[in-house]
Structure 1
Amino acid sequence: MASDMKAVSGEHPASSNSVNGEIKKDWQTRAAEKRAANLAKIPAEWRLPEATLKGIHEESNVSVLDLPRSSGLLTEEELHITEDFDATGLFEQLSTGALTAQAVASAFCKRAAIAHQAVNCLTETFFDQALARAKLLDEFWAREGKPLGPLHGIPISLKDSFVVKDVHHTCGYISFLDRPPAAENSPLVQTLLDLGAVLYVKTNIPQT
């Protein structure tokens, strides 16, 4: 099973096998390509400097807990949004219009991108979809004068065992990358959306 699970190390062997005349890439190569594709989705303005990334590795003993703040990529407002509220407090700000769903989604997407560059914590990112969803929620609030539901504008990350429409669903298995993105949301995911949530990333899972 280990050979089928997503690689989280930095190894990138380039070997491949031929099955029925078709070249099959080994799992390490597939994993490396998927990680590269995830990184490519991060906007340039959210990228950590190369010098910072070079100092972050398994043997460096460098804490990255303060990286979102020390990187300088987040504005003071984005730090405030992502550090000073729990979900209840954030909803209070969103439901009264003190914060927009777009501002909150952008702050959390950017912070997630910073974390991922440092520790490879995400299997899927769908920042564009999250920002588009937040825009719709802001339009609803402006039109109706009330939140869509009790999770209006709350960013929620999902473990990579949940099915999200138009996003790959792998449960950590490399072979599942051969499957097309999901055609529809799973019931729990749809419930979160119906309640007003903003989904923006899938998080990594253990190899157990």
Structure 2
Amino acid sequence: MMKKRKLRAACLAMACVLLCCSCGDKGGTILIGGSEGQGQESLSGEESVPVTETPEETERQEAFIRVYVCGAVSNPGVVEIPQGSRVEDALAAAGGFGADAGREAVNLADWVSDGQKLYFPTEEEAQGAWQPETGEDGSSGLVNINTADVDTLCTLSGIGESRARDIVAYREAHGGFASCEEIMNVPGIKTAVYEKISDMITVK
């Protein structure tokens, strides 16, 4: 009888030990891994991460300029072209010449700058600039570079708004042009440009 009681007590003690161990394992699992929902939240990475521009993106922004191309072109508007581009690059970005463009009216080899406006005249406009008619008052119809405003100067072949403003600034700083050839002292106007406009300008 005594042996049976000891055996029963031993079995009861062993059962308690197994039960306690089982509870301890369960508690350890919760402590280490957390709940199932918490594990999924950690893996999903829902926390917002600040977005910053990479050096490559910043460098790209600095390497491109925006130019407004209008007039006789296929797709007038603002185009984005690489820094250091020429007029021909801006023209290509705007889809090329329009059907009625005066193709020789603008210097395609000229440099462009950020924010510049490039106007491409029609063939009719270009012809009007190349072959000025004599007025009824006997005037030659030539552009007087000592009095012409920016818009009038822009009618000259190869002279855009930026270059026209340079001409006005030069004559104001030097009291006007003494000769037509002096216009070559204006930054950006060299022999090639002067040869295109020499028959279109005068000084008075």
TM-score, length basis structure 1: 0.28
Higher RCO (Cα < 8 Å, 6 or more apart): 1
TM-score, length basis structure 2: 0.28
